[in-house]
Structure 1
Protein backbone atom coordinates (compact mmCIF):
# COMPACT_ATOMS: atom_id res chain seq x y z
CA UNK A 1 0.00 0.00 0.00
CA UNK A 2 2.61 2.52 -1.07
CA UNK A 3 0.53 5.00 -3.03
CA UNK A 4 1.83 8.47 -3.74
CA UNK A 5 -1.05 10.11 -1.91
CA UNK A 6 -0.53 8.04 1.25
CA UNK A 7 3.24 8.62 1.19
CA UNK A 8 2.82 12.36 0.82
CA UNK A 9 0.09 12.57 3.45
CA UNK A 10 2.03 10.46 5.95
CA UNK A 11 5.04 12.77 5.70
CA UNK A 12 2.82 15.69 6.74
CA UNK A 13 0.74 13.74 9.25
CA UNK A 14 3.68 12.31 11.21
CA UNK A 15 4.78 15.61 12.80
CA UNK A 16 1.17 16.74 13.26
CA UNK A 17 0.17 13.53 15.02
CA UNK A 18 3.29 13.63 17.20
CA UNK A 19 2.52 17.22 18.18
CA UNK A 20 -1.08 16.24 18.94
CA UNK A 21 0.14 13.32 21.07
CA UNK A 22 2.32 15.68 23.12
CA UNK A 23 -0.68 18.00 23.51
CA UNK A 24 -2.80 15.11 24.79
CA UNK A 25 0.04 14.07 27.11
CA UNK A 26 0.38 17.55 28.62
CA UNK A 27 -3.33 18.10 29.17
CA UNK A 28 -3.77 14.68 30.71
CA UNK A 29 -3.27 15.56 34.36
CA UNK A 30 -5.96 18.25 34.16
CA UNK A 31 -8.46 16.90 31.63
CA UNK A 32 -9.05 13.58 29.82
CA UNK A 33 -5.95 12.32 28.08
CA UNK A 34 -2.52 11.58 29.41
CA UNK A 35 0.35 9.26 28.81
CA UNK A 36 -1.55 6.23 27.61
CA UNK A 37 -3.66 7.93 24.95
CA UNK A 38 -0.80 10.22 23.93
CA UNK A 39 1.47 7.20 23.51
CA UNK A 40 -1.11 5.42 21.36
CA UNK A 41 -1.48 8.45 19.11
CA UNK A 42 2.31 8.70 18.70
CA UNK A 43 2.47 5.00 17.89
CA UNK A 44 -0.28 5.37 15.32
CA UNK A 45 1.73 8.15 13.68
CA UNK A 46 4.74 5.87 13.26
CA UNK A 47 2.61 2.93 12.09
CA UNK A 48 0.98 5.13 9.45
CA UNK A 49 4.43 6.24 8.31
CA UNK A 50 5.59 2.61 8.19
CA UNK A 51 2.59 1.58 6.06
CA UNK A 52 3.23 4.39 3.61
CA UNK A 53 7.03 4.51 3.43
CA UNK A 54 8.17 1.09 4.54
CA UNK A 55 9.34 -0.27 7.86
CA UNK A 56 13.03 0.46 7.31
CA UNK A 57 12.40 4.17 6.61
CA UNK A 58 10.36 4.46 9.80
CA UNK A 59 13.00 2.66 11.84
CA UNK A 60 15.61 5.09 10.55
CA UNK A 61 13.46 7.96 11.88
CA UNK A 62 13.44 6.46 15.37
CA UNK A 63 17.24 6.02 15.51
CA UNK A 64 16.92 3.54 18.43
CA UNK A 65 14.91 0.39 18.89
CA UNK A 66 11.51 1.23 20.38
CA UNK A 67 12.08 -1.45 23.01
CA UNK A 68 14.62 0.88 24.61
CA UNK A 69 11.79 3.28 25.52
CA UNK A 70 10.13 0.70 27.78
CA UNK A 71 12.73 0.55 30.58
CA UNK A 72 13.36 4.31 30.34
CA UNK A 73 9.66 5.09 30.73
CA UNK A 74 9.17 2.53 33.46
CA UNK A 75 12.12 3.93 35.40
CA UNK A 76 10.76 7.46 35.11
CA UNK A 77 7.29 6.36 36.27
CA UNK A 78 8.69 4.46 39.27
CA UNK A 79 10.96 7.35 40.26
CA UNK A 80 8.02 9.76 40.10
CA UNK A 81 6.10 7.41 42.39
CA UNK A 82 8.97 7.01 44.84
CA UNK A 83 9.92 10.72 44.94
CA UNK A 84 7.37 11.63 47.66
CA UNK A 85 9.15 9.17 49.96
CA UNK A 86 12.04 11.65 50.19
CA UNK A 87 9.65 14.06 51.93
CA UNK A 88 8.12 11.38 54.13
CA UNK A 89 4.94 11.11 52.06
CA UNK A 90 3.25 7.91 50.87
CA UNK A 91 4.00 6.29 47.50
CA UNK A 92 2.44 8.10 44.49
CA UNK A 93 1.49 11.23 46.45
CA UNK A 94 1.37 14.20 44.10
CA UNK A 95 4.19 16.72 44.41
CA UNK A 96 3.67 20.07 42.69
CA UNK A 97 5.91 22.99 41.85
CA UNK A 98 4.47 26.24 43.24
CA UNK A 99 4.46 28.32 40.04
CA UNK A 100 2.87 27.47 36.70
CA UNK A 101 5.00 27.21 33.57
CA UNK A 102 3.37 29.23 30.72
CA UNK A 103 2.82 26.49 28.12
CA UNK A 104 2.87 23.37 30.28
CA UNK A 105 0.98 24.55 33.37
CA UNK A 106 1.63 23.17 36.83
CA UNK A 107 4.53 20.74 36.92
CA UNK A 108 4.26 17.87 39.32
CA UNK A 109 5.04 14.23 39.81
CA UNK A 110 1.87 13.30 37.89
CA UNK A 111 3.35 14.81 34.72
CA UNK A 112 6.53 12.75 35.06
CA UNK A 113 4.46 9.63 35.69
CA UNK A 114 2.45 10.39 32.52
CA UNK A 115 5.66 10.90 30.53
CA UNK A 116 6.89 7.52 31.75
CA UNK A 117 3.62 5.86 30.71
CA UNK A 118 3.84 7.68 27.35
CA UNK A 119 7.29 6.22 26.67
CA UNK A 120 6.30 2.72 27.80
CA UNK A 121 3.20 2.69 25.58
CA UNK A 122 5.16 3.87 22.54
CA UNK A 123 7.86 1.27 23.20
CA UNK A 124 5.45 -1.62 23.70
CA UNK A 125 3.14 -0.89 20.78
CA UNK A 126 5.90 -0.17 18.27
CA UNK A 127 7.89 -3.22 19.35
CA UNK A 128 4.85 -5.45 18.90
CA UNK A 129 3.79 -3.94 15.59
CA UNK A 130 7.32 -3.82 14.14
CA UNK A 131 7.94 -7.43 15.17
CA UNK A 132 4.72 -8.57 13.53
CA UNK A 133 5.52 -6.54 10.39
CA UNK A 134 8.99 -8.01 10.11
CA UNK A 135 7.73 -11.58 10.32
CA UNK A 136 5.07 -11.07 7.67
Structure 2
Protein backbone atom coordinates (compact mmCIF):
# COMPACT_ATOMS: atom_id res chain seq x y z
CA UNK A 1 0.00 0.00 0.00
CA UNK A 2 2.61 2.47 -1.10
CA UNK A 3 0.66 4.50 -3.64
CA UNK A 4 1.36 8.09 -4.59
CA UNK A 5 -1.99 9.18 -3.17
CA UNK A 6 -1.28 7.52 0.18
CA UNK A 7 2.23 8.97 0.44
CA UNK A 8 0.87 12.41 -0.42
CA UNK A 9 -2.02 12.47 2.05
CA UNK A 10 -0.25 10.62 4.88
CA UNK A 11 1.48 13.69 6.41
CA UNK A 12 -1.88 15.47 6.73
CA UNK A 13 -3.53 12.40 8.26
CA UNK A 14 -0.64 11.95 10.70
CA UNK A 15 -0.69 15.60 11.81
CA UNK A 16 -4.45 15.50 12.43
CA UNK A 17 -4.22 12.21 14.31
CA UNK A 18 -1.40 13.39 16.58
CA UNK A 19 -3.19 16.66 17.39
CA UNK A 20 -6.41 14.76 18.09
CA UNK A 21 -4.57 12.27 20.30
CA UNK A 22 -3.16 15.10 22.42
CA UNK A 23 -6.63 16.65 22.66
CA UNK A 24 -8.18 13.33 23.73
CA UNK A 25 -5.43 12.77 26.29
CA UNK A 26 -5.76 16.19 27.90
CA UNK A 27 -9.55 16.20 28.11
CA UNK A 28 -9.79 12.59 29.21
CA UNK A 29 -9.91 12.94 32.96
CA UNK A 30 -13.19 14.86 33.00
CA UNK A 31 -14.74 13.59 29.76
CA UNK A 32 -14.40 10.46 27.60
CA UNK A 33 -10.84 9.88 26.48
CA UNK A 34 -7.60 9.83 28.40
CA UNK A 35 -4.05 8.69 28.12
CA UNK A 36 -4.80 5.20 26.88
CA UNK A 37 -6.97 6.10 23.92
CA UNK A 38 -4.79 9.12 23.12
CA UNK A 39 -1.72 6.87 23.03
CA UNK A 40 -3.54 4.42 20.76
CA UNK A 41 -4.39 7.18 18.30
CA UNK A 42 -0.80 8.50 18.28
CA UNK A 43 0.62 5.00 17.80
CA UNK A 44 -1.76 4.45 14.89
CA UNK A 45 -0.47 7.69 13.37
CA UNK A 46 3.10 6.38 13.63
CA UNK A 47 2.03 3.11 12.00
CA UNK A 48 0.55 5.07 9.10
CA UNK A 49 3.76 7.10 8.90
CA UNK A 50 5.73 3.85 8.77
CA UNK A 51 3.56 2.45 5.99
CA UNK A 52 3.89 5.64 3.95
CA UNK A 53 7.55 6.52 4.48
CA UNK A 54 9.25 3.45 5.90
CA UNK A 55 10.44 2.43 9.34
CA UNK A 56 13.76 4.29 9.07
CA UNK A 57 11.96 7.60 8.48
CA UNK A 58 9.77 7.06 11.55
CA UNK A 59 12.73 6.21 13.76
CA UNK A 60 14.57 9.30 12.51
CA UNK A 61 11.54 11.54 13.10
CA UNK A 62 10.97 10.22 16.64
CA UNK A 63 14.59 10.99 17.67
CA UNK A 64 14.30 8.47 20.56
CA UNK A 65 13.63 4.75 20.67
CA UNK A 66 9.88 4.14 21.09
CA UNK A 67 10.52 2.04 24.19
CA UNK A 68 12.29 5.08 25.64
CA UNK A 69 8.95 6.90 25.43
CA UNK A 70 7.35 4.00 27.28
CA UNK A 71 9.94 4.13 30.04
CA UNK A 72 9.51 7.89 30.33
CA UNK A 73 5.75 7.36 30.66
CA UNK A 74 6.22 4.86 33.48
CA UNK A 75 8.46 7.38 35.24
CA UNK A 76 5.87 10.17 34.89
CA UNK A 77 3.01 7.93 36.06
CA UNK A 78 5.00 6.78 39.10
CA UNK A 79 5.97 10.37 39.89
CA UNK A 80 2.32 11.41 39.83
CA UNK A 81 1.59 8.78 42.48
CA UNK A 82 4.60 9.65 44.61
CA UNK A 83 3.64 13.33 44.78
CA UNK A 84 0.74 12.44 47.06
CA UNK A 85 3.14 10.98 49.63
CA UNK A 86 4.52 14.48 50.26
CA UNK A 87 1.08 15.58 51.49
CA UNK A 88 0.77 12.59 53.83
CA UNK A 89 -1.91 11.03 51.62
CA UNK A 90 -2.03 7.47 50.27
CA UNK A 91 -0.27 6.61 46.99
CA UNK A 92 -2.06 8.00 43.88
CA UNK A 93 -4.27 10.40 45.84
CA UNK A 94 -5.24 13.36 43.65
CA UNK A 95 -3.57 16.70 44.20
CA UNK A 96 -4.96 19.80 42.52
CA UNK A 97 -3.13 23.09 41.99
CA UNK A 98 -5.03 26.13 40.71
CA UNK A 99 -2.84 28.67 38.95
CA UNK A 100 -4.12 32.12 37.94
CA UNK A 101 -3.15 33.47 34.53
CA UNK A 102 -4.68 36.94 34.47
CA UNK A 103 -8.43 36.49 34.74
CA UNK A 104 -8.26 32.76 34.02
CA UNK A 105 -7.68 30.00 36.55
CA UNK A 106 -6.02 26.87 35.17
CA UNK A 107 -6.21 23.67 37.24
CA UNK A 108 -3.24 21.30 37.24
CA UNK A 109 -3.66 17.85 38.73
CA UNK A 110 -1.81 14.62 39.38
CA UNK A 111 -4.54 12.60 37.56
CA UNK A 112 -3.74 14.57 34.40
CA UNK A 113 -0.04 13.88 34.97
CA UNK A 114 -0.87 10.17 35.33
CA UNK A 115 -2.85 10.28 32.06
CA UNK A 116 0.15 11.83 30.30
CA UNK A 117 2.32 9.02 31.64
CA UNK A 118 -0.14 6.41 30.37
CA UNK A 119 -0.18 8.21 27.01
CA UNK A 120 3.59 7.85 26.67
CA UNK A 121 3.55 4.21 27.81
CA UNK A 122 0.88 3.19 25.29
CA UNK A 123 2.40 5.30 22.51
CA UNK A 124 5.91 3.94 23.04
CA UNK A 125 4.90 0.31 23.43
CA UNK A 126 2.52 0.14 20.47
CA UNK A 127 4.78 2.20 18.22
CA UNK A 128 7.64 -0.17 19.01
CA UNK A 129 5.47 -3.17 18.15
CA UNK A 130 4.15 -1.58 14.94
CA UNK A 131 7.63 -0.62 13.76
CA UNK A 132 8.97 -4.09 14.52
CA UNK A 133 6.16 -5.68 12.52
CA UNK A 134 6.59 -3.28 9.60
CA UNK A 135 10.38 -3.74 9.64
CA UNK A 136 10.00 -7.51 9.66
CA UNK A 137 7.64 -7.40 6.66
CA UNK A 138 10.14 -5.36 4.61
CA UNK A 139 12.82 -8.04 4.68
Q: Please indicate, yes or no, whether the TM-score normalized by the shorter chain is above 0.5.
A: yes
Cα gap change, 1:22 to 1:100, in 2 (>3 Å): farther
Identify unmatched segments of 5+ residues in structure 2.
none
Q: Residue by residue, what CA displacement relative to the aligned partner does 1:94-132 show, whole Å, maximum 9, x if unpaired? A: 1001247799x5210001100100000011001111112
- Equivalent residue, structure 2, for 1:72: 72
- Listed as ranges, the gaps of 5+ residues in structure 1 are none
Check the 8 A contact 2:50/2:134 in 1, yes or no: no
Matched residue, 2:14 = 14
* Structure 1 length-normalised TM: 0.93
State the number of aligned residues. Answer: 136
> Equivalences for 1:1-136 in 2 at 5 Å?
1-99=1-99, 105-136=106-137
Aligned CA RMSD, in angstroms, stands at 1.9
Distance 2:38 2:69 in 1: 14
Q: Which deviations, in whole Å up to 9, do the C-alpha atoms of 1:41-81 show, x marking residues without a partner?
A: 00111111111121111221111110101111001101101
- More strand as a share of residues: 2
TM-score w.r.t. the length of structure 2 is 0.91
Distance 1:47 1:107, change over 3 A: same
Q: Which moved more, 1:34-43 or 1:6-15?
A: 6-15
Superposed CA deviations along residues 4-55 of structure 1, whole A, max 9, x for unmatched, are 1111111111111110000000100110100000000001111111111211
Partner SS for 1:97: strand
